[in-house]
């Protein structure tokens, strides 16, 4: 370090060492490093401090040593990054237009991602008769971005990722014009069809395909598919901040890839949980509980699963990431050798090949391949808002309060006093810090007039299912009403009675005979009143030829699925499921009508993360 830097560090050390004893305590080193520009994670800080033994006193010389070590590491990362920029040959850049006069933005597009996504779409949707004119997607010349423009493919993908998210009866498939393409864009990607199909692959039956515009698509019907696709993406937990149907209809590469990857991720990871794979308990580390395992992200569980099998193999290699650790195919080869049946005859012979590409080519071409409905709905809602970290399991991921505070900020900006929030948890006081956060979360709820009788912060920390769900429901309700309030002239929060009155007045003004008395009215069960309301908001959007008039459970379910998909098609971001309507779930029925009311107040809605 040069003398000028040492003097600067000494001055900052003096501000930290307020006692003038020439040292700082071990527990204050992290804060000391922040003042000199390094925010070090706890695990890394503990590793750095091991070199000084168990002493609680860290001198200036020792802090200087830590600073030098961190500076060298940072310089190495920067140099590596600069080298990496030069080596990115299999990529190209596209220029984006920044808003409000900001600098132009350049996005790097990796060709490998384009090829992988195109291949996945062709594999999953190749047999779909609605997509004959669109598939296969060519792997070159930007064909991917052209094929998703009418929204059909994205709608299909959403239903693969989350079955029944989109009722295909609501998709514009014929005679598409600009407007219906835009609706399909919120429903899918550029003509919407491909994205709708992808969604149904990732989550089967998410979209009722009767709602998808599939044939003779014009601009209007493509837009409808895109609207349907994007609202359905939100419903299955994709984060669409600053993305709307117009972006996809223009085939903006970085946004198209971002949406498709999120859909693929939902489809790939939806089965990685204890409910679907009970045998995952074998991945528990010594002394670890099932709740701690549930707290891991799907990526972390996948890495642990790989290492579980590597531990039984002949290699000492272990996997820590999905990039550099697997580039030479060694881990992949050993993994396949462990999980394949003996009679498959897979060996470790690919390891004899020189070069990463040749080794990968030697691998076999074909690899071997409950949470409640209410909990899933809440989780998808949170993730669609872009909370960090991603919510995987409700009752452990909310226990430190940080995600709850982010939700409060979505409901009412600046309502959280972040000075009262502990964001970095200390090892010995972590539990108390998290309970402190949860207590503050309950306090904020009471300030917002939530009904939280008998609920304490400790209940949230303990993952009490009933009490946690009680809080989460009120968060979702408050968010829905806040979005509705932003759409009105006076900005006031609507009451249940006001929403019911609006529903009936809207139905009556459109000449509909249906009415409701409350959100518990049994007439809601066949979904016809919801379909009528959607048609009142946007006349002609409902094809009554496919509406079931009988009273069987299946007919009611089909109507409800079509209603939810059609609501999303016109731009309402609805998180409720068909069962919520057929069972007349008062809470979720309220959100359906509130979201439709918000949509009616925004007739020229451009679906983004701020709409309802």
Please tell me whether the peptide bond between 608 and the residue prior to it is cis, using omega within 30 degrees of 0: no
Domain boundary among 328, 361, 394: 361
User: Distance between CA atoms of 183 and 607, rounded to whole angstroms?
Assistant: 9
Percent composition of the chain: helix, strand, coil (DSSP 3-state, to 5): 55, 5, 40
> What is the per-residue pLDDT across 53-81, written as a single tens digit (0 to 9) for each?
767 777 777 777 777 777 776 565 545 43
Count of helix runs (H) and strand runs (E) in the chain: 27, 8
User: Distance between CA atoms of 544 and 459, rounded to whole angstroms?
Assistant: 48
Q: Are residues 307 and 390 in the same domain?
A: no
- Phi/psi region, residue 237 (left: phi>0; alpha: psi -120 to 50; beta: rest), is left
Q: Are residues 129 and 260 in the same domain?
A: yes
Rounded to the nearest 10 degrees, the angle between the axes of helix 298-310 and helix 253-269 is 60
Band of the pLDDT at 9, cuts 50, 70, 90? low
Averaged pLDDT for residues 324-331: 76
Length of the chain: 612
pLDDT on residue 534: 96
pLDDT on residue 25: 75
Q: Is the pLDDT of residue 205 over 70?
A: yes
3-state secondary structure of 610: coil
Q: Is the pLDDT of residue 433 over 50?
A: yes
Which residues 6+ apart lie within 8 Å of 167 measured at CB? Answer: 207, 208, 209, 210, 211, 561, 562, 563, 564, 565, 566
Residue 139 vs residue 510, higher pLDDT = 510
The answer to whether residue 8 sits within a structural domain is yes
Greatest mean pLDDT among 10-19, 242-251, 508-517 lies in: 508-517
The answer to whether residue 107 sits within a structural domain is no
Q: Are residues 73 and 206 in the same domain?
A: no
Q: Is the pLDDT of residue 599 over 60?
A: yes
| Residue showing tokens 């590597």 | 310
Q: Are residues 350 and 379 in the same domain?
A: no
The answer to whether residue 101 sits within a structural domain is no
Q: Are residues 162 and 220 in the same domain?
A: yes
pLDDT on residue 485: 87
Q: What are the structure tokens assigned to 432, written together? A: 């108390």
Averaged pLDDT for residues 560-577: 90
The answer to whether residue 93 sits within a structural domain is no
Residue 594 vs residue 134, higher pLDDT = 594
- Phi/psi region, residue 100 (left: phi>0; alpha: psi -120 to 50; beta: rest), is left
pLDDT on residue 363: 47
Range of weakest confidence among 70-74, 202-206, 286-290 = 70-74
Q: Is the pLDDT of residue 218 over 50?
A: yes
Q: Is the pLDDT of residue 52 over 60?
A: yes
Q: What are the structure tokens assigned to 271, written together? A: 């089965």
**Residue 414 CB neighbours (<10 A):** 8
Please list the residues that pair with 109 across neighbouring strands.
92
The answer to whether residue 52 sits within a structural domain is yes
> What is the per-residue pLDDT across 135-147, written as a single tens digit (0 to 9) for each?
888 877 778 878 8
Q: Is the pLDDT of residue 5 over 70?
A: no
pLDDT on residue 230: 86
The answer to whether residue 368 sits within a structural domain is no
Residue 117 vs residue 97, higher pLDDT = 117
The answer to whether residue 471 sits within a structural domain is no
User: Distance between CA atoms of 479 and 290, rounded to whole angstroms?
Assistant: 31
Q: Are residues 541 and 569 in the same domain?
A: yes
Range of weakest confidence among 52-66, 294-308, 432-446, 452-466 = 52-66
Residue 371 vs residue 301, higher pLDDT = 301
Q: Are 291 and 395 in contact (CB under 8 A)?
A: yes
Band of the pLDDT at 35, cuts 50, 70, 90? low
Domain boundary among 232, 249, 269: 269
pLDDT on residue 361: 55
pLDDT on residue 88: 44
Residue 172 vs residue 36, higher pLDDT = 172
- pLDDT > 70 in the chain, percent: 75
Q: Are 122 and 157 in contact (CB under 8 A)?
A: no
Q: Are residues 258 and 298 in the same domain?
A: no
Q: Is the pLDDT of residue 475 over 90?
A: yes
Q: Are residues 121 and 246 in the same domain?
A: yes
pLDDT on residue 438: 95
Tell me which residue range forms the domain holding 577.
496-601
Band of the pLDDT at 604, cuts 50, 70, 90? very low
Q: Are residues 294 and 190 in the same domain?
A: no
Domain boundary among 316, 331, 361: 361
579-612 burial code (b ≥16 CB/10 A, e <16): ebbbbbbeebbbbbbbbbbbbbebeebebbbebb
Please tell me whether the peptide bond between 136 and the residue prior to it is cis, using omega within 30 degrees of 0: yes
Q: Is the pLDDT of residue 12 over 60?
A: no
Band of the pLDDT at 23, cuts 50, 70, 90? confident
The answer to whether residue 487 sits within a structural domain is no
pLDDT on residue 238: 85
| Closest C-alpha to 503, from 481, 478, 531 | 531
pLDDT on residue 186: 42
Q: Are 29 and 58 in contact (CB under 8 A)?
A: yes
Q: Where residue 45 sits, what CATH number does that domain have?
A: 1.10.238.10
Number of domains in the chain: 5
Q: Are residues 260 and 210 in the same domain?
A: yes
Q: Are residues 172 and 291 in the same domain?
A: no
User: Distance between CA atoms of 162 and 384, rounded to whole angstroms?
Assistant: 14
Q: Are residues 124 and 220 in the same domain?
A: yes
Range list of β-strands (E), 7-134: 23-25, 57-59, 91-96, 105-110
Averaged pLDDT for residues 194-214: 80
Q: Are 232 and 206 in contact (CB under 8 A)?
A: yes
Q: Where residue 582 sits, what CATH number does that domain have?
A: 1.10.418.10
Rounded to the nearest 10 degrees, the angle between the axes of helix 373-384 and helix 219-235 is 110
| Closest C-alpha to 566, from 589, 590, 523, 533 | 533
pLDDT on residue 484: 87
- pLDDT > 90 in the chain, percent: 25
Write the DSSP assignment of 164-217 as a string of letters. Answer: TSEETBTSB-SS-BHHHHHHHHHHSSSEEHHHHHHHHHHSTTSEEBTTSB-SS-
- Phi/psi region, residue 242 (left: phi>0; alpha: psi -120 to 50; beta: rest), is left
Q: How far is CA 98 from CA 104, 275, 471, in A?
A: 5, 44, 39
Q: Is the pLDDT of residue 103 over 60?
A: no
pLDDT on residue 100: 40
Q: Is the pLDDT of residue 89 over 80?
A: no
pLDDT on residue 157: 82
- Phi/psi region, residue 30 (left: phi>0; alpha: psi -120 to 50; beta: rest), is alpha
Q: Is the pLDDT of residue 508 over 90?
A: yes
């Amino acid at each position: 370090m040069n003398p000028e830097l040492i003097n600067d560090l000494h001055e900052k050390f003096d501000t930290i060492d307020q006692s003038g004893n020439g040292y700082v305590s071990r527990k204050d080193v992290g804060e000391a490093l922040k003042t000199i520009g390094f925010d070090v994670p706890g695990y890394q800080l503990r590793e750095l401090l091991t070199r000084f033994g168990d002493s609680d006193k860290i001198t200036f010389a020792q802090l200087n040593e830590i600073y030098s070590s961190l500076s060298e590491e940072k310089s190495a990362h920067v140099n590596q990054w600069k080298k990496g920029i030069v080596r990115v040959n299999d990529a190209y850049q596209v220029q984006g237009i920044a808003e409000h006069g900001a600098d132009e933005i350049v996005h790097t597009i990796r060709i490998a991602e384009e090829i992988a996504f195109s291949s996945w779409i062709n594999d999953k949707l190749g047999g779909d008769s609605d997509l004959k004119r669109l598939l296969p997607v060519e792997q070159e010349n930007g064909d991917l971005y052209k094929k998703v423009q009418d929204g059909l493919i994205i709608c299909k993908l959403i239903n693969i990722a989350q079955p029944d998210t989109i009722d295909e009866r609501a998709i514009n498939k014929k005679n598409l014009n600009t407007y219906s393409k835009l609706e399909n864009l919120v429903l899918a990607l550029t003509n919407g069809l491909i994205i709708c199909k992808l969604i149904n692959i990732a989550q089967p039956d998410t979209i009722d395909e009767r709602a998808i515009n599939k044939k003779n698509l014009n601009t209007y019907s493509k837009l409808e598919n895109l609207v349907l696709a994007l609202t359905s993406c939100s419903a299955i937990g994709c984060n669409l901040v600053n993305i709307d149907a117009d972006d996809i209809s223009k085939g903006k590469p970085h946004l198209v890839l971002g949406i498709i990857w999120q859909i693929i991720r939902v489809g790939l990871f939806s089965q990685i949980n204890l409910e679907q794979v009970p045998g995952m308990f074998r991945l528990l580390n010594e002394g670890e509980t099932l709740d701690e395992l549930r707290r891991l992200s799907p990526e972390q569980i996948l890495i642990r699963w790989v290492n579980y099998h590597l531990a039984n193999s002949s290699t000492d290699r272990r996997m820590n990431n999905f990039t550099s650790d697997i580039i030479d195919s060694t881990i992949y080869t050993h993994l396949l050798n462990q999980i394949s049946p003996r009679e498959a005859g897979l060996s470790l012979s690919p390891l004899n090949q020189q070069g990463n590409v040749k080794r990968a080519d030697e691998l076999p071409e074909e690899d071997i391949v409950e949470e409640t409905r209410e909990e899933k709905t809440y989780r998808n809602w949170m993730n669609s808002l872009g909370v960090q970290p991603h919510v995987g399991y409700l009752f452990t991921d909310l226990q430190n309060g940080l995600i709850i505070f982010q939700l409060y900020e979505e409901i009412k900006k600046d309502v959280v006093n972040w000075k009262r929030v502990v964001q970095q948890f200390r090892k010995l006081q972590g539990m108390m810090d998290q309970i402190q956060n949860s207590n503050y979360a309950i306090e904020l709820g009471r300030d917002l007039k939530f009904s939280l009788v008998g609920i304490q912060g400790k209940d949230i920390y303990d993952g009490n299912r009933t009490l946690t769900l009680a809080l989460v429901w009120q968060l979702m309700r408050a968010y829905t009403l806040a979005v509705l309030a932003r759409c009105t002239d006076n900005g006031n929060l609507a009451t249940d009675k006001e929403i019911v009155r609006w529903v009936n007045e809207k139905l009556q003004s459109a000449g509909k005979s249906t009415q409701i008395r409350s959100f518990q009215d049994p007439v809601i069960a066949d979904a016809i009143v919801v379909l009528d309301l959607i048609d009142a908001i946007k006349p002609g959007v409902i094809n009554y030829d496919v509406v079931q008039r009988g009273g069987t459970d299946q007919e009611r379910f089909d109507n409800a699925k079509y209603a939810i998909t059609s609501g999303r098609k016109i731009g309402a971001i609805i998180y409720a499921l068909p069962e919520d309507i057929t069972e007349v779930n008062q809470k979720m029925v309220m959100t359906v009508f509130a979201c439709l009311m918000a949509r009616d107040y925004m007739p020229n809605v451009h679906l983004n993360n701020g709409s309802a």
